[in-house]
Amino acid sequence: MKRTAYYAKMDTPFAHLYMASTQNGLCRLEWMRSNEERFFSWLRSHFDDFYEDPLLHEPIINQLKQYFDGRLKRFEVHFDLTGTDFQKRVWKALMDIPYGEVCSYKEIAQRVGSPKGFRAVGMANNKNPIAVIIPCHRVVGHDGRLVGYAEGIDIKEKLLVLEGRTIRNEKIVLDSKR
């Protein structure tokens, strides 16, 4: 059976976001700061055909615009995720982290039933196919340090500040929100 995806691009205050969907839902949302070829290479490796379709993505783009404007705290999006069972459990746990809150890799590992699996949680975060909406930016080191964000700590910091967190020296001020 032929697999088809549709994609769109949007500008954000921080960088471009590229997104791809199937008939079942959003399958990729990726920061693109320089080379868009990585995104298209991913599309070519996972789909037989892909087409640009901004209208299909309009509801997602509108939600993202509201998020970046500080008006949206929770996304309503259907997903078509590809990953291991463990990765999917981690990604679901990430979606349960409330807007503006953070937790550690160890806490996520405990939530997904793998208390010593904080490194595996980090790897699942690194493979997160849906940036921003599956909020891996809300996961920090056990001491509040901003660690492990594929598109750079600067974007992670901007997202957390957008959500009301105070950051000093690449570290969350854990006991306060702006």
Would you please indicate which residues are annotated as catalytic (active-site) residues?
Answer: 136
Phi, psi of 99 (to 5 degrees): -50, 130
Closest CA to 15 of 161, 154, 145: 154
Helices and strands (H, E) in the chain, number of each type:
6, 8
Closest CA to 155 of 34, 6, 23: 34
Residue 140 near residue 104 (C-beta atoms within 8 A): yes
Residue 178 to residue 166: CA distance in whole angstroms: 6
DSSP 174: E
Residue 141 to residue 178: CA distance in whole angstroms: 20
